[in-house]
Structure 1
Amino acid sequence: MAPAPAFSRPPAPSYLGPRFAPGYTPYVAKKSNAGVVVAVAIIGIVAVVGGLVAGVALLGGSTRHVADAGYSSTYPSETSETSETPSETTVETTETTSTTRTSERTSATPTSETPRGPRPVAATGDNPLFANPDYGLQNIPCSLSRWATDQNSATRFFQSGIGCLDAMWSRMLGAVNLPFRTPNLSVPRSLSESSTPCGSGGTATGVTPFYCPSNDTIYMPMDRIEIETWGNHPGPYLSILAHEYGHHVQNLAGIDDAYSSQRYDAGADSALGLELSRRMELEAQCFSGMFLGSASVSGGSVDKNIYNEAWNAQDRGDDYARNGKRDHGSAKHNIAWWQHGATKNRNQQCNTWLSASADVS
């Protein structure tokens, strides 16, 4: 199990401005005899020889952004391989007696073979995502659609944001042999239109944007993204999207499975159950900060203005008393964990599961 991250108490005084996340440009080498190597490259070269991918060089752009030389770019040199057992084929021969000809047909019999490729690991604090203190998001330029407060523009903005999040998190998950798939997106006019496997009209999700793991969908209802508060400032909306995407990452990694089991055993509304919920939410806050911090030094659409807007918009949490439960963490800790992720950009620094209860209250 990885050691508990040293949780520092941000933020610096606002007049000093936020610090920016260190850059991160890893290289991932694969074994030459790996069955299947899947790499997603936005900017870079994928070398294909005879249908076998021998290696993937992941580049964050023509310039490598390394803001803090103290952070090395360490990824595992090799990833574990999923054992594959060839499926057996049953051959049946059918003889036709009414003619002089014999016909043969071949049918494949389904087997109980383990699905190929990376699989989630049902674990929280000791999840592979936190296996190395140097694992973090690669700095990749993000190209965002222009934000506006109408539904069509907001949908395009969130779609472009998911593209940016995909580019970063697909590399991170692939490097530690965890599965990746892009989430779905729904931007209804109101929460009441959000009938989902996780609840209808917000009955199971509170009154804010949410992620439903049952159908891999991020819901961003127009009447719940606080347009009356943030107006035409895109930073807060992007950070909310990145928070919900953080829950998608937890689902892909297997953190959500382990959390759900532990919370069920503890009782959802018990003291332990609520603390587990806070750990889940504050980790998603930290992941959101990681994305904004990494994108802010990449030379794309996420400039200092968007980053500063997001930095100053994290005072959400149980202080809003949306449902009367202490299941999201205080505003103080929502601010602290988001800014911690933004300035550290390391997965292990977001491992709320190994942090003291006082840091997730």
Structure 2
Amino acid sequence: MTENDGWEPAGPPPPPVAARPPAANPWAAPAWHRPPRRSGGGVAGAAVALVILVVTVGVIAVVPHELSGHALAVPNALHRSDSAPDGVRDTPVAVPELETNPLLANGVELNEVSCTLPELGRTGAELSAYYEALTECLQQAWRRALDHAHEPSQRVSVSVTLTKVSACGSAPSKDQAVAYYCGGDSTIYAPTDWMLADAGQNPSRHLATIAHEYGHHVQDESGILAAAGDRMTSPNQDAPHDRALVRRIELQANCFGALFIAAAEGRGSISRATANAAVADYGRADDSGDHGSRVNQLAWAKAGFSVGTTSACNTWSAPDSEVS
């Protein structure tokens, strides 16, 4: 699918049926994740760091294990409750739950935003300025939803250079990722060479990738990644149960990315044509055991874009056929 391909908005998907405490289990560390291969030989990029989804999807490095296909963040976040210590009850906290996470409740929407983005250039400085402006707009859009869920809304950083070792451990190789999100330092790593090789000067592709990666940040902030990590059964993520969890993570990041695109469509620097091309870009990847079939990767993006509420992105309550 090219950026000029159009699609009819899909109908609504099945009805949605301050500081973190130290990690207490081996799945609680941040991870990096790589994007899936796309048709045409390109590498997708945009998932979490977890890796880049939105056009990325991939492997995540966690401590002390290395997980492939998803990103995990510090679990064991505090649950909100009437018995919470003084000063905690009114403080936004991550809620380590999946299908019942407050972020996915009915009627939760993003702020409509008008993003003012600089010209997309080819130098590291130009890409950095573009991504910084885009992630600032992403935060503005997502703040409403996270505030509604009483969950944290911390800033994310973007790095266009790649350090050999980060808070998530050793960095992936150029062949493994296009971009990735590291929950350990709340940073999206989008190396200049990698991004230009995959997306060139195509703004819709950069938009889809960064929005997907930011979706992983939202999963981290809300406690969704922590909850998913707690359900993992094997350190190498080889078990069918674990791979199914990873697919739900990645498909949700696509949906979250498209939710933002809908919130920014037709305003500021993001035209309707760019927005539609960015959503279509989620269908650029080939079928993937970690990210789902090409059909489902696009379907979840369309759901977020068309419905416009976070409940449309509840991959955790969806039947297996829709997250395969």
TM-score by length of 1: 0.64
Distance, in Å, in 1 between the alignment partners of 2:261 and 2:227 is 27
Instruction: Work out whether residues 186 and 219 of structure 1, in 8 Å CA contact, stay in contact via their aligned partners in 2.
Output: yes
Instruction: Tell me the secondary structure at the aligned position of residue 312 of structure 1.
Output: helix
Match for 2:104: what amino acid? F
Distance, in Å, in 1 between the alignment partners of 2:198 and 2:179 is 15
Map 1:130-149; keep pairs closer than 5 Å: 130-132=104-106, 134-149=107-122
Higher relative CO (Cα under 8 Å, sequence separation at least 6) belongs to: 2
Q: Residues 258-303 of structure 1: CA distance to partner in whole angstroms, max 9, x if unpaired? A: 0011114696110010010000000000000010111004x21111
Match for 1:212: what amino acid? C
Instruction: Tell me the secondary structure at the aligned position of residue 281 of structure 2.
Output: coil
Q: Give the aligned length.
A: 255
In the superposition, relative to structure 1, how do residues 15 and 195 fare at CA in structure 2: closer, same or farther (>3 Å)?
A: closer
Partner of 2:16: none
TM-score by length of 2: 0.71
Tell me, yes or no, if structure 1 residue 252 matches structure 2 residue 221.
Answer: yes
Tell me, yes or no, if structure 1 residue 339 matches structure 2 residue 309.
Answer: no
Instruction: Tell me the secondary structure at the aligned position of residue 158 of structure 2.
Output: strand
Please, which runs of 5 or more residues in structure 2 have no aligned partner? 13-79
1:119 corresponds to which of 93, 100, 123: 93
Distance, in Å, in 2 between the alignment partners of 1:84 and 1:355 is 32
Distance, in Å, in 1 between the alignment partners of 2:172 and 2:232 is 20
Distance, in Å, in 2 between the alignment partners of 1:292 and 1:21 is 17
2:150 corresponds to which of 143, 157, 177: 177
State the 1:355 CA deviation.
0.4
Tell me, yes or no, if structure 1 residue 151 matches structure 2 residue 124.
Answer: yes
Q: Residues 40-93 of structure 1: CA distance to partner in whole angstroms, max 9, x if unpaired? A: xxxxxxxxxxxxxxxxxxxxxxxxxxxxxxxxxxxxxxxx8987866xxxxxxx
Instruction: Work out whether residues 246 and 287 of structure 1, in 8 Å CA contact, stay in contact via their aligned partners in 2.
Output: yes
2:276 corresponds to which of 308, 321, 332: 308
Map 1:1-361; keep pairs closer than 5 Å: 17=7, 19=9, 114=88, 117-132=91-106, 134-188=107-161, 193-202=163-172, 206-225=176-195, 227-264=196-233, 268-297=237-266, 299-317=267-285, 319=287, 326-361=289-324
Distance, in Å, in 2 between the alignment partners of 1:178 and 1:129 is 8
Please, which runs of 5 or more residues in structure 1 have no aligned partner? 1-10, 23-79, 87-112
Distance, in Å, in 2 between the alignment partners of 1:185 and 1:352 is 27
Instruction: Work out whether residues 10 and 306 of structure 2, in 8 Å CA contact, stay in contact via their aligned partners in 1.
Output: yes
Instruction: Work out whether residues 108 and 148 of structure 2, in 8 Å CA contact, stay in contact via their aligned partners in 1.
Output: no
In the superposition, relative to structure 1, how do residues 145 and 264 fare at CA in structure 2: closer, same or farther (>3 Å)?
A: farther
Instruction: Work out whether residues 147 and 154 of structure 1, in 8 Å CA contact, stay in contact via their aligned partners in 2.
Output: yes
State the 1:230 CA deviation.
3.4
Distance, in Å, in 1 between the alignment partners of 2:89 and 2:203 is 40
Partner of 1:69: none
In the superposition, relative to structure 1, how do residues 149 and 167 fare at CA in structure 2: closer, same or farther (>3 Å)?
A: same
Question: Higher strand fraction: Structure 1 or Structure 2?
Answer: 1
Q: Residues 120-154 of structure 1: CA distance to partner in whole angstroms, max 9, x if unpaired? A: 1110110001122x212121211112111221111
Distance, in Å, in 1 between the alignment partners of 2:8 and 2:125 is 32
Instruction: Work out whether residues 258 and 302 of structure 2, in 8 Å CA contact, stay in contact via their aligned partners in 1.
Output: yes
In the superposition, relative to structure 1, how do residues 139 and 82 fare at CA in structure 2: closer, same or farther (>3 Å)?
A: farther
Match for 1:149: what amino acid? R
In our comparison, the structure showing a higher alpha carbon Rg is 1
Instruction: Tell me the secondary structure at the aligned position of residue 145 of structure 2.
Output: helix
Q: Residues 229-265 of structure 1: CA distance to partner in whole angstroms, max 9, x if unpaired? A: 5322211101100101000000110101100111146
Match for 1:312: what amino acid? A
Instruction: Work out whether residues 213 and 253 of structure 2, in 8 Å CA contact, stay in contact via their aligned partners in 1.
Output: yes
Instruction: Work out whether residues 317 and 328 of structure 1, in 8 Å CA contact, stay in contact via their aligned partners in 2.
Output: no
